[in-house]
Structure formats: structure tokens, C-alpha cells
Chains A and B, each alone.
Chain A
Amino acid sequence: MAVNKGIRQFFFPSLTPAFLIRAGCIAFVAYLVFGHLLAPFRIKGHSMEPTYQNGEFNFCWRFRYLFSKPKRGDVVVIRFTGQRITLLKRVVALEKEEVEFRNGRLLINGKELDEPYIHYPYNWSLSARQVEPNSVYVVGDNRSGPMQNHFFGQASLPRILGGPLW
């Protein structure tokens, strides 16, 4: 009987002031954590394969770049539009660096970048361009499709929300 009562109490707790305060505290902490610190997101698309698969679930660690700037090779979450639509891309070049794609090779300041995370061959070609100040150059890991269908380029630093938790 005592067990039944305990179960009943767990699923249907009495709305006492103490319970309401506890529930309110939990809701507030959840709002802070999942709204501002670890924003949950689901990956939709194949542009970061094989590192991140379509449909995967992850969290955006918002304080990742609070005291530092993104480094080359970092995967970052970029605010695309509004507060809900974001992009997951890899930083390949930093501000004032020169980026160029030449027959499926990525050149930074004229030197080929070693990219162990690229598993699918690609044949992109894009003339050299300099990354603007306060920006980074981001590209997806899966460059097997045509360049026109891929979202990549310079993203301003204020648009970078953080990095994926794993």
C-alpha cells in the first residue's frame, strides 16, 4: 500500500506550495540551461557528413567562444536567420587570410590545407579571396555535391553562436 501511495504521489503530486516552488525552480533552470547555455538542435542535411550525420541530435554550447575566437578546424554553429535556424560548418580560414579552391583542393594563403575530415572527393574551383575582418570562412565537410548547392563562405563572428557539444 505504501509503495502504491508513493508511486501515486510521484506521478500525481499534491499541489502544495513547496511542490510549486520546486517545479518553478526546475522550469527556470531548464530555461536557462537549454535556452541560453546548451541550446538543443537537430541536424537536417548532409553537408557535414561523415562528421555529423543527417538527423543527429546535439547541443550548441553557447559559451564556447565567450573568451576566445574560433580556430581553424573548429566546427561552429552559425545563426542563419531568426533564432531557430542555424548552420553547422567547419572553420577553414580566419580573418584576413586568403581562401581558394583549386580542383578540389583548399588553399589558404596559397598553401594546401590538410583536411583529414574530408572523406568524399570533390572538384570545386573558386578564385582566391580574402576573408574580411571580424569574419571566418566556413565550409561543410561533405563537398561531394556541386558548389552552387552548398552553403559556405564568410560568416561574421557575431553570428557564431557557439560550438556543438560533441
Chain B
Amino acid sequence: MVNPVRNISKPLNPTGIGLKYNPASAAGPGSAPEGLLPRREGLWPGGSSGIISNGVKVKYVLIALILIAIGTGVSLTLFQSEEKRVKKQFHLLSEGVSREPGENIFTMDQKIKKMGSLFDETCELKIPAYSLSGLLTRDEITGYATRGRLHFTQLHLKFYDFNIAFTQEGGAGVHLTARLTGKTTTGENVEEAHELDCLLKRIEKRWLFDRIEVVEVLKK
């Protein structure tokens, strides 16, 4: 009986590049020594360039990787992490507090309204340096902020050194540095830095300030 001889290299290797496949070397050291196993040419389906062992073309893998990267980027942009959302609230607070020279009443009103929306219905404030301590309503806080801003012609509030820890009760404890710089209406330059301990609560998918405490480093 004569076995039919089939030239299998052609249909499976369209580019016609001959492949020298050595199973011994592919299996790694310790396997059958080279020469004992017969060399087969063109038997491996992935023999042509641009094809991986299971027959998937490299370009498809690359396209898949690019799509995954794009998808990850889009999802990170659209669906921000909770940490980013918390940081964003501080960024908004910074924008609300900051004041540029020549700010008009309309801008000020907008900023104050926006700032008020960042706080919970009541928020606990503890600022020992200004003897301010207690549970304040949103309106009281915006009132304080409005009066405080009036003392400055220029005011900037920046936050640094974020240390965010999410609590089991669904809150976010934030330990950070706040730096306040500005110029008072009397022309005096102000530059202050404080360590803050804040608690934000997630209410209706928004992180709202529930407690702000200025850490008293030196207790008189």
C-alpha cells in the first residue's frame, strides 16, 4: 500500500517561506537532543512570518492591544476613580475660594454658589487659629467665605500632599496641605500653609464636605 504524499507546505504557508521547526529546541533544554528527532519543514501552521502559533495574525493582536489601550483610556476618562472625584472637590473648592483682582459681583456670586454646593447640609468646621469651631450650615459657610474673600484683592488656595483613605461608613478621610496666598485690601501679602483633616461623604453620587479641621501643630 502506498501512502499518498501530500505537499502540505504550500496551502498552509502561502508566503512560501520555508520554516525549519525543531521540536527539540522548542521544548527547551532537557528534552530530546537535536538530531534524534527528524526536522520537519513547513508542518507548523504558524510558519509564515506575521502569524503566531495558534494561527492568529500579529496585526490582529496589535489591533486588539490598541483597542484595549483606547478602551482603558476612555473608561479612565469617563469613569473617574473615587479618589479622583474626591480630589476634584478640593479643586472646585480652590476655584471657589480663589479671587482675582477686579472680580465682578456676578463672578463672585457664581463662585460662592458653586462653593456652597460642595458642602453637606451641615458641615463641622474646626479652625483653632480663628477660634472657629462648630457645626455650620451651608449658608453659614458661604456667608463666612463671602465675608472672608472681601478682605482680599487677590486670593489663591491650593491643595497638596493628598492622603485619601476611604472609611467603611462610606466616607473619605483626606489629610492634606492647604496653601493660602494673597493680598489684603490694605496691601499686605498673606502666605499661610496649614495641615487639614477633612471628611467627605458620598451623597447622591457626589462627594460633599462633611468636616474640615485645621490641624493645630503647636498648641499654645
Contact = CB atoms under 8 A, between A and B. Distances in A.
B195 A82 contact: yes
Interface string B46-64: 0000000000000000000
B151 to A, nearest CB: 17
A81 B161 contact: yes
A142 B148 CA distance: 30
Contact of B218 (A82, A83, A126, A151): A151
A159 B218 CA distance: 10
A83 to B, nearest CB: 7
B220 to A, nearest CB: 4
Contacts of B219: 132, 153-154
A85 B177 contact: yes
Nearest to A85: B193
Interface in B128-167: 160-161
B217 A159 contact: yes
Nearest to B217: A80
Interface in A118-146: 126, 129, 132, 138
A78 B217 contact: yes
Nearest to A89: B218
Interface of B: 160-161, 177, 193-195, 215, 217-220
Interface of A: 78-83, 85, 87, 126, 129, 132, 138, 151-155, 159
